[in-house]
Amino acid sequence: MHCTHCGGEDLEAGVIAEEPHGRAGWQLDKWYSGPPTTTKWMGVLTDAWRRRSGTATVHRCRACGHLDAFVAEVTDPPQDY
């Protein structure tokens, strides 16, 4: 694996996370198929429950800071909606 920006090979793996309310832990941001559909007033993804999704692993280039994101496993949405 190498940085697609500078060609460097010193990539550091991580994930995108969002600080939740409370101390339970950090919610990982997931990747969702399809274009964003957001409500005008809240700016949230309203139909995430019926999209394919997966946790994004993000690799940061130590040389230039560029991020490359990968979603290795994608899960189908539940069929009982």
The residues of the shown chain that bind Zn ion, judged by CB under 5 A, are 3, 5-6, 8, 61, 63-64, 66
Decide whether 32 or 61 has the Cβ nearer to Zn ion.
61
Compute CA distances 41 → 30, 48, 51, whole Å: 22, 17, 22
Decide whether 30 or 61 has the Cβ nearer to Zn ion.
61
Closest CB 65 distance from Zn ion, rounded Å? 7
CB neighbours (10 Å) of residue 61?
Answer: 20
Closest CB 29 distance from Zn ion, rounded Å? 22
What does the alpha-carbon distance between residue 17 and residue 28 come to, in Å, rounded to a whole number?
A: 4
